[in-house]
Chain A
Amino acid sequence: MVKGKKAMLLTEEVLKIIVAVIGLVLLSYFLISFFSSGAKEKKQREAIETIDKISQIISSIGISGGNISVLQPQRWTLFSFTEEEKKPNQCTGQNCVCICNKVVGDLFDRQIKKCAKEGACLVIFNLQEFEDIKIEAYAKETTNINIQESGGKIQITKI
């Protein structure tokens, strides 16, 4: 009898822990979403500004091209999407450059989905594929790029 009661108590405790864990998970999810949405929007605005600068350089590109210093937002990455089958929606199926947060473990097109959802992209028909350029935190180093046209292709390189 006493043993049964003890067991019942144990079940109760386990159930309470489960409820508490579910509650905590939900609460933390809502809190994180609430506080990170503002930061994400700020980073997206910064990414759009950088994309605008790239667009301006490309529209008036000459022999020497142009540089962009102190790329923003910090810790995001500059990607090129050229020959792949899938591209972020903003690219409309064409070659493009995007700035977005890099995902860990790019499975099931997670990177493309991330760029489509939160990133900023610019269609460049004659873009030459380049290695991902990580925009480092300002405390570490400033990230600068050079944009130039060579052989009819737009090249973007880190300087």
Chain B
Amino acid sequence: MSKKGELTTQQIIILIVLLISFIVILYFLFRLNIGKSSEEEICHNSIVMKGNPILSKGDVSINCKRAYVCLSKDGSCEAMTNPEIKKVGDNPEETYKVLADEMAGCWWMFGEGKINYVGKDFKENFYCSICSQLAFDNSLSDIEEFNESLDERVFYKYLEENEISEGQTYLNYLGLNSVEQIEETLSQEGGSFGTFEFSKQYFIMTGIYSEVGVWKWVAGLAAVGAVAGGIVATPFTGGASAIGGVVFAKAVLLGSISLGAVAGGFAGEYLGTAVSGDGVDNDFLSPVILEANSEEFAAFNCKDIMSLA
């Protein structure tokens, strides 16, 4: 006769089965990669909290982590350690879609240009946030349309022609108007779109300018001569959708940077577009893909990189 409260063999076996089931369920939950979406939510929530004038009086900190993403055709990735591997097929549009979604996710996490998450700052500062670090596995070179690199213009055309949600293209969502308009503005400075080389790693970066605005920031950079590669900034005003902004290009020759007009023979690659905030006084850098730790990245002279590595 068993003692009162003592476990029977049947109960013990049930316990073991339950424990094993729990471990199996946990394994599949991890495989589903729910962690990524929750990290994006955590980041977005911290930005919203920081942007709320009542809540931000307390000790609210931005809680955004950099994602390490590797695009691969065969599922392997030698360029990174434990990255989130995004498998793509032979169709180049699959690769573009991964990049487009990463950029859109970055814009969403940091408030889509509607939240001032840096508070009052009257100096000419630019606060940047690296949402993702991208690597391209060498298996991508097997895709016929790519030749060890990806054409930035073709990618931006994809953003312009494909919708993120009904009636809204990726490009519009990111606060940009049209590829032609960017190109036109770039060409005024002799610049053009570049390429993303598979041998290099890239950042998907967004950012916010202090309330003094992007033009004072550009002028401030020129005044201190702090730019390593140099940035050319040119304004453009929107057409039908009335989106206005500032297009940045890399200045090949270092020279003076003035408001809209540039002295010297500048010519360089597209570095991004600053757009006006929606309901806030700040300007924002629309998400852009920049070579990691490059001169172009350094040229932004980031005040604070507001995401954890």
Q: Classify the secondary structure of B's interface with A.
A: loop
A50 interface residue per 8 A CB criterion = no
Are B293 and A15 neighbours in the complex by a CB distance under 8 Å? no
Residues of chain A within 8 A (CB-CB) of B293 are: 92, 94, 123
Q: In the complex where A12-B9, A16-B7 touch, is A93 in contact with B81 (Cβ < 8 A)? A: no
Min C-beta distance of A96 to chain B, whole Å: 9
Interface size on B, residues (CB 8 A): 22
Contact between chains at B82 and A116 (CB < 8 Å): yes
Residues of B contacting A90 in the complex (Cβ-Cβ under 8 angstroms): 309
**Residue ID in chain A nearest B12 by CB atoms:** A15
User: DSSP majority for the A interface?
Assistant: helix
Q: Which residues on B sit within 8 Å (CB–CB) of A123?
A: 293
CB-CB < 8 A to A132: which residues of B?
none
| 0/1 interface trace, chain B 6-28, chain A, CB 8 Å (1 if under) | 01110011011001000000000
Interface pair B82/A11, CB less than 8 Å apart: no
Q: Write the nearest CB–CB distance from A49 to chain B, whole angstroms.
A: 14
Flag B287-305 by CB within 8 Å of A: 1 or 0 each.
Answer: 0000011000000000000
Given contacts A89-B68, A92-B293, A123-B293, contact A109 B81 (CB under 8 A): yes
In-complex Cβ contact of B12 among A12, A89, A94 (8 A): A12
Query: Which A20-67 residues sit within 8 Å CB-CB of chain B?
Result: 22
* Residues on the A chain within 8 Å of B79, using CB: 93
Check if A19 is an interface residue, CB within 8 A of chain B: yes
How large, as a class, is the contact surface on chain A?
20 to 34
Within 8 A of A (CB), among B255-293: 292-293
Residues of chain B with a CB closer than 8 A to A88's CB: 81
Query: What are 25 inter-chain pairs, A to B, with CB distance below 8 A?
Result: A8-B9, A12-B9, A15-B9, A15-B12, A15-B16, A16-B12, A18-B16, A19-B12, A19-B15, A19-B16, A22-B16, A85-B78, A86-B81, A88-B81, A89-B80, A89-B82, A90-B309, A92-B133, A92-B201, A93-B79, A109-B81, A112-B81, A113-B82, A116-B68, A117-B82
Instruction: Give A residues with C-beta under 8 Å from B.
Output: 8, 11-12, 15-16, 18-19, 22, 85-90, 92-94, 109, 112-113, 116-117, 120-121, 123
Q: Which residues of B contact A (CB under 8 A)?
A: 7-9, 12-13, 15-16, 19, 68, 78-83, 133, 135, 200-201, 292-293, 309
5 nearest interchain CB pairs?
A92-B292, A15-B12, A92-B201, A116-B81, A89-B68
